[in-house]
Amino acid sequence: MGDKDSNISGLFHRASNVTASNSTFTEVHGNYNQNIHNYTTGPPAEAVELYPYENLGPFFTGRDSYLETLKGYFCADSIMSLTRKSFLLYGKEGIGKTQVCLKFLDNAKDNFSMVFWIDASTEDSILSSLQDIAGAYHLQTGQASLAHYVLSWISGLQSNWFMVFDHAEMGDKMLGKYLPSGTRGNILITSRRKALERITGFHSLAIEAMQEEDGIDLLLSCGNLGPGFRDIARRIALKLRYAPYLIDQAGAYIHTYQCNPEKYLELYEGKGELGELKELWVELINGRRENLGEDHLDTVEMMHNLASCLNKLDEWKESEDWGLKAVKGREKHLGKNNLLTLESMLILAYSYAWQKQWEKAEELENQVVKGRIALLGEDHPETLQVMHDLLVSLIELKKWAEAGVWGQKAVKGRKQHFGVQNLLTLESMLKLAHAFGWQGKWEKAEELEIQVVEGRISLLGEDHPDTLQAMHDLLVSSVELKKWAEAEVWGMKAVKGRKQHFGVQNLLTLESMLKLAHAYGWQKKWKKAEELDIQVVEGRISLLGEDHPETLQVMHDLLVSSVELKKWAEAEVWGLKAIEGRKQHFGVQNLLTLESMLKLAHAYGWQGKWKKAELLEAQVVEGRISLLGEDHPDTLQAMHDLLVSSIELKNLAEAEVWGLKAVKGRKQHFGMQNLLTLESMLRLAYAYGWQKKWGKAEELEIQVVEGRTALLGEGHPETIQAMESLEIALRSQGKWQEAETWKLNLKAVQGKMKKV
């Protein structure tokens, strides 16, 4: 059967520019050389280019009634050669009009002296066909008058010539310009346009789909199948709408790849292996391009199928390319507000989403959701699906308000349509919970996540990956809401389940372990936190490398745990790694880098390495002022830390500068009655004390004692600490009586505390 491509699509290739002479049928096309026999009525012909006559495939079957009609019209002996006869074959693209024409000529060519084949799909293709005729017959003329000259020459022929205008899609007036004048000859037009029968005097015939038995016979012949396959051939032919070229392609594929017909039907219905499906769609696209053209709706349908298949194969860029073609083609034929067009737009949106091109995905999803609402209504499952998809894109784009709108619509609609105990409903609920979480609406997120966990446990079981994901999300919300008991419960379930399902060396497992470590950290269970942090850092180094941002994050967390556990050597190791990695990845002027630098400074401070601490803190203050401003709470914290280090290093002038800034900023941000503000005030008082500015120290310490008494109680260790500092300030100024009063007060408080 020749090479693979010709087997698949050769039977119904578009025929173009064919000429016949002296009972020899030939085609003038462009890339093939053959001889044309001499005609008695025209100049001698020599070697010309033509497309081989195998355009009429060997498996042509049925269509006898059409052939008989054409024979009766063009070949009736009583009227042969006496008058111009014109006829139109019309019908859908790919229905077999050209093949009927070719088969008729194959049977009746002896009745005609010459056959001229014109590709009438466009005006340019007509001119090109006339140019080929001129070349074949040595008609010497200027380009400007070529069409007129060739048509005049044909009109003057006294023989019984036959002229085909194939694929004529223009209007009757435009096509009429290229019909030879006169009363002789025969003209056969093939077109999708019934209106062209005005040119033929309403002599026309509609070409319909093949009869069922003819379609079955064609498939059996093309596929080289025996009669035992007749039942499955019937199902395939029905699926292919009895379109000859589709049946031909199916048979050629079955024969070429030795594909079982049952398997072919599965593939065509999209039920086969993805790799096989991809191969099939590519073959069908190539065949339909050959027969129908790039823009034909049936070609576009295969492009859509291929784009969808490629998405499932994770071949996103190639899917995007075919998806764009499918959208463009369906828009052209069907319009934007058509369900098939919208389906292709959604497939294209998926390819963009998988490539993280969220703006493009959102743009398409907005169009699809509006279109489906208009065509199907808000509550239709397909409308709800694209609402869910739009919710996902909006979350990625951090468009929280819009995400909330579409998320609530998707959840409400799916609840009404499917009920709460449905996986699609639960999926939308979880995505909406994510949107709430990103906005800090943790109570709303938690409420949804609890329902999702319960629903997925019921439908999928505790150990299903989707259930474990919901447990992990509930762990995150519980941590944010400081519900430590719940966080610990869900964290341990998520970690245990993911370990069993994925193993420890898995990013999802490690993510849950890290979040559980955070829950332990907030509860001051630093040993448990450290144990998990170590496993996570080792796992991420193995899976992602030392310099990956997520690895650096857990190094920072391990630094924090080590500081809290007073493991200074470990803290320094992990702190230096976190800082070096974050500097390389983000630069120094980055909040994450600065966060690690400040935490390492704390570790140095606890070890009395105040110079190292001060060096880091100075950089953090400078960086946070630049990135956040002087009054941001994180900047004020770094100023406070720098105040502490400056005091320890006896850099008292610097201590006073940073102390004043920290106190002023915290007063403005938190107010006087705040523990952070009071802490900075006490540290500034120490700086004044070291400089013998006891009056200023006293003033601050009185405020701190009063504030801590109000907030913590007079017996709290931090309140007592402030009282002791105030007593020292008073004695240092010679205020013995006031100092003695505070000393007695302090003893009384301490006495009460001992009794308690």
CA-CA distance, 81 to 97, in Å (whole number)? 24
Q: Which pLDDT score, from 0 to 100, does residue 56 have?
A: 53
* 476, containing H or E segment: helix 465-480
Work out the average pLDDT over 676-680: 97
* 324, containing H or E segment: helix 316-334
Is residue 73 domain-shared with residue 191, that is, in the same domain? Answer: yes
CA-CA distance, 243 to 741, in Å (whole number)? 107
Domain end marker among 206, 223, 239: 206
Q: Which pLDDT score, from 0 to 100, does residue 25 have?
A: 36
Check if the beta carbon of residue 550 is closer than 8 Å to that of residue 510: no
Is residue 624 domain-shared with residue 721, that is, in the same domain? Answer: no
Domain end marker among 622, 654, 670: 670
Domain end marker among 206, 233, 255: 206
Q: Which pLDDT score, from 0 to 100, does residue 49 have?
A: 34
CA-CA distance, 705 to 682, in Å (whole number)? 9
Contacts of 648 (CB under 8 A, 6+ apart): 605, 608, 610
User: Quick one: tokens of 613?
Assistant: 């601490």
Is residue 136 domain-shared with residue 58, that is, in the same domain? Answer: yes
Q: Which pLDDT score, from 0 to 100, does residue 746 have?
A: 82
Is residue 595 domain-shared with residue 721, that is, in the same domain? Answer: no
**pLDDT band of 18, cuts 50, 70, 90:** very low
Contacts of 532 (CB under 8 A, 6+ apart): 513, 514, 516, 517, 520
Q: Which pLDDT score, from 0 to 100, does residue 167 have?
A: 85
Q: Is residue 414 one of the residues assigned to a domain?
A: no
Does residue 48 surpass a pLDDT of 50? Answer: no
**pLDDT band of 124, cuts 50, 70, 90:** confident
CATH number of the domain that residue 157 is part of = 3.40.50.300
- Where on the phi/psi map is residue 159: left (φ > 0), alpha (ψ -120 to 50), or beta? beta
CATH number of the domain that residue 634 is part of = 1.25.40.10
Is residue 635 domain-shared with residue 599, that is, in the same domain? Answer: yes
Contacts of 579 (CB under 8 A, 6+ apart): 593, 596, 597, 600
Work out the average pLDDT over 666-680: 96
CA-CA distance, 255 to 697, in Å (whole number)? 98
Per-residue pLDDT tens for 583-606? 999 999 999 999 999 999 999 999
The distance of Cα 410 from the centroid of its chain, to the nearest Å, equals 19
Is residue 703 domain-shared with residue 631, that is, in the same domain? Answer: no
Does residue 674 surpass a pLDDT of 90? Answer: yes
**pLDDT band of 754, cuts 50, 70, 90:** low
Check if the beta carbon of residue 133 is closer than 8 Å to that of residue 116: yes
Work out the average pLDDT over 114-123: 86
Is residue 563 domain-shared with residue 651, that is, in the same domain? Answer: yes
| DSSP per residue, 679-724 | HHHHHHHHHHHHTT-HHHHHHHHHHHHHHHHHHH-TTSHHHHHHHH
More confident residue, 609 or 746: 609
**pLDDT band of 157, cuts 50, 70, 90:** confident
Q: Is residue 701 one of the residues assigned to a domain?
A: yes
User: Quick one: tokens of 134?
Assistant: 């001129």
Is residue 64 domain-shared with residue 194, that is, in the same domain? Answer: yes
Tally of residues, the chain: 756
Does residue 12 surpass a pLDDT of 70? Answer: no
Is residue 729 domain-shared with residue 652, that is, in the same domain? Answer: no
Is residue 585 domain-shared with residue 635, that is, in the same domain? Answer: yes
Q: Is residue 377 one of the residues assigned to a domain?
A: no
Q: Is residue 137 one of the residues assigned to a domain?
A: yes
Number of domains in the chain: 3
Work out the average pLDDT over 515-541: 96
Q: Is residue 213 one of the residues assigned to a domain?
A: no
More confident residue, 539 or 254: 539
Work out the average pLDDT over 632-646: 97
Does residue 308 surpass a pLDDT of 50? Answer: yes
Does residue 305 surpass a pLDDT of 90? Answer: no
Q: Is residue 296 one of the residues assigned to a domain?
A: no
Q: Which pLDDT score, from 0 to 100, does residue 8 have?
A: 35
Report helix, strand or coil for 162: strand
Q: Among candidates 199, 151, 204, which has minimal Cα distance to 172?
A: 199
Q: Which pLDDT score, from 0 to 100, does residue 82 have?
A: 65
Is residue 625 domain-shared with residue 726, that is, in the same domain? Answer: no
CA-CA distance, 392 to 432, in Å (whole number)? 9
Tell me whether residue 7 is exposed, middle or buried, using C-beta atoms within 10 angstroms of its C-beta: 0 to 12, 13 to 18, 19 or more: buried
Count of Cβ atoms closer than 10 Å to residue 465 Cβ = 13
The residues with which 114 forms a beta bridge, in sequence order, are: 21
Q: Is residue 486 one of the residues assigned to a domain?
A: no
Look at 76-85, 102-111, 587-596, 698-707 and tell me which has the smallest mean pLDDT: 76-85
Work out the average pLDDT over 737-752: 82
- Where on the phi/psi map is residue 230: left (φ > 0), alpha (ψ -120 to 50), or beta? alpha
Q: Which amino acid is at 415?
A: K
Look at 142-156, 232-246, 606-620 and tell me which has the smallest mean pLDDT: 232-246
Range of the domain at 176: 53-206
Work out the average pLDDT over 103-122: 84
Q: Is residue 751 one of the residues assigned to a domain?
A: yes
Look at 144-158, 337-351, 357-371, 394-408 and tell me which has the smallest mean pLDDT: 144-158
- Residue 554 has phi, psi (to 5 degrees) of -75, -25
More confident residue, 552 or 284: 552
Is residue 561 domain-shared with residue 660, that is, in the same domain? Answer: yes
